[in-house]
Amino acid sequence: MNLDISGKVALIAGGTGGLGKPITLSFLNAGAKVAVTYIRDDEIAALRNEAGDRAALLSTHAVNVTDDGSVRSAVETLVAKHGRIDILVNTVGGYAGGLKLWETDPQVLSQMLDLNLRSGYVLARNVVPVMLKQKSGAIVNIAARAAFDHAAGASAYAASKAAAVAMMDCLGEDLKGTGVRVNSVLPSIIDTPANRRAMPGADFGKWPKPEEIARVILFLCSDAARLIHGASVPVYGND
């Protein structure tokens, strides 16, 4: 299958993170020009180092993607440089849980909605107009299995991820007939360094590798997936 995205311009929000970094590297290896947003700059050197020669195709932007004005100016910078944005992947998100709803501070709900819902909203509302002008584009928003599997102790997190899926479903309807595709991807626990640190006793071998999920996202963003629009794709095997 041809997953060549060479020459395409990809914006990967959170492209330095546990899942974001493997996505960035796989997109660079597939020949895309990749712009990543980040908050903590200590991860940038490692990313450039791992990208090797492909780092020439990489640009990095310190942007709070929950802030509309900051994202608007980052998008303007990208369009001024490349003339287009072909791919948007939003990996910005966060988890808070372990407490029952009535024990959870309202601040946690605000934080989950900002990271897991508002990020995708702000990114999409700034990037979609660029894609509409091109009459083409592919968007992938990372939600979570928790969007559909609603467990105890996860009310704020699950609600924010369920809302993110609903928002992308609506965006998919808004985009019908435009040539711009949008899909959600639903991971469960991923084998990231942060999860290994948080759950040292777990069987890491059972967790999907971020590189495996990055391959699915690369496929969804490639022309090979031109028939896939408005889907919520589970990426946690059959456990």
Ligand X SMILES: NC(=O)c1ccc[n+]([C@@H]2O[C@H](COP(=O)([O-])OP(=O)(O)OC[C@H]3O[C@@H](n4cnc5c(N)ncnc54)[C@H](OP(=O)(O)O)[C@@H]3O)[C@@H](O)[C@H]2O)c1
If one asks whether residue 20 binds ligand X (CB under 6 A), the answer comes out as yes
CA distance 49 to 204: 26
Tokens of 137: 């584009």
Nearest Cα to 11, choosing from 113, 124, 172? 124
Q: Which stretch binds ligand X (CB under 6 A): 74-82, 100-108, 191-199, 219-227?
A: 191-199
CB of 176 to ligand X, least distance (A): 25
Nearest Cα to 209, choosing from 183, 239, 235, 238? 235
Judged by CB, which is closer to ligand X: 136, or 153? 153
Q: Which stretch binds ligand X (CB under 6 A): 24-32, 62-70, 81-89, 221-229?
A: 62-70
Q: Which of 5, 11, 19, 89 binds ligand X (CB under 6 A)?
A: 19
| 157 is known as an active-site residue | yes
Judged by CB, which is closer to ligand X: 2, or 73? 73
CB of 219 to ligand X, least distance (A): 17
CA distance 123 to 130: 11
| CA angle, residues 123, 24, 239, in degrees to nearest 5 | 90
If one asks whether residue 137 binds ligand X (CB under 6 A), the answer comes out as no
CB of 39 to ligand X, least distance (A): 3
Q: Which of 123, 139, 144, 214 binds ligand X (CB under 6 A)?
A: 144
C-alpha 2 chain-centroid distance: 22
Q: Which of 65, 87, 154, 171 binds ligand X (CB under 6 A)?
A: 65
CB of 19 to ligand X, least distance (A): 3
If one asks whether residue 14 binds ligand X (CB under 6 A), the answer comes out as yes
CA distances from 151 to 30, 77, 104 (A): 37, 41, 15
Please enumerate in sequence order all residues whose Cβ is within 8 A of that of 137, keeping only pairs 6 or more positions apart, or say none: 85, 86, 87, 88, 127, 128, 130, 131, 179, 180, 181
Q: Which residues bind ligand X (CB under 6 A)?
A: 13-14, 16-20, 37-40, 43, 63-66, 91-93, 95, 115, 142, 144, 187-190, 192, 194-195
